[in-house]
Copies of this chain bind each other. A is one copy, B any other.
């Protein structure tokens, strides 16, 4: 009986397909990855893939919404754990750095891919819920006087722009070593930009 949680098992065709697609999409790009490429790399049949996903686009859409949801959950956790804008924003940046190190493909797909090109129905990433929540954190910081009285857009950009760009550099292979070695210095810069 029971034991219903076998769904992330990897031997599951659906998960295997998702994992493989994510890897190929980020490595070669959505349009340079054919369904046959995914089939070969994942060692599953075309039929199987189409049994689990209605189309290539839906496959990419699944990846995208999963990732957005994970990121939203991650931010919720931060909100629950920390109370000040400073601590919250710092924790979000830290989480992004950590994720970029441990799951580069996931972060690359979320931050660097141009989803609008292959998911015409999705909003741009920067309008997605997680990014809205980041802006709300900054707004709270301004209201409480933690962050000086700037245009919220500018403050948000000043805080997250540097770290996000650093992540992009890392994911583009322009940076040696782990991202972590830059975290403290980077955060100090970002915070002092808005205080």
| Cβ–Cβ contact B150 & A185, under 8 A | yes
Out of B165, B189, B192, name the residue touching A165 (CB < 8 Å): B165
| Cβ–Cβ contact B162 & A158, under 8 A | yes
Interface size class of A (residues with CB under 8 A): 35 or more
**Which residues from chain B contact A32 at a C-beta distance below 8 Å?**
117
Binding stretch for chain B, among A37-45, A49-57, A65-73, A166-174: A166-174
Q: What is the count of identical protomers in the complex?
A: 2
Given contacts A114-B29, A193-B192, contact A124 B165 (CB under 8 A): no
A186 at the interface (CB under 8 A from B): yes
Task: Return the CB mask of A171-194 against B: 1 if under 8 Å, else 0.
Answer: 011110000001001100110111
A97 at the interface (CB under 8 A from B): no
**Which residues from chain B contact A28 at a C-beta distance below 8 Å?**
117
Query: Which secondary structure characterizes the binding site on chain A?
Result: helix
**Which residues from chain B contact A113 at a C-beta distance below 8 Å?**
114
The answer for the CA separation of A136 and B125 in the assembled complex, in Å, is: 32
Task: Return the CB mask of A109-150 against B: 1 if under 8 Å, else 0.
Answer: 000111011000000101100000000000000000000001
| Cβ–Cβ contact A151 & B193, under 8 A | no
The answer for the CA separation of A168 and B174 in the assembled complex, in Å, is: 20
Q: Give me the interface of A with B, judged by CB distance under 8 Å.
A: 28-29, 31-32, 112-114, 116-117, 124, 126-127, 150-151, 153-155, 157-158, 160-166, 168-169, 172-175, 182, 185-186, 189-190, 192-194
Given A124-B174, A157-B162, output 5 extra A-B contacts at Cβ < 8 Å: A153-B166, A157-B165, A160-B165, A161-B162, A161-B165
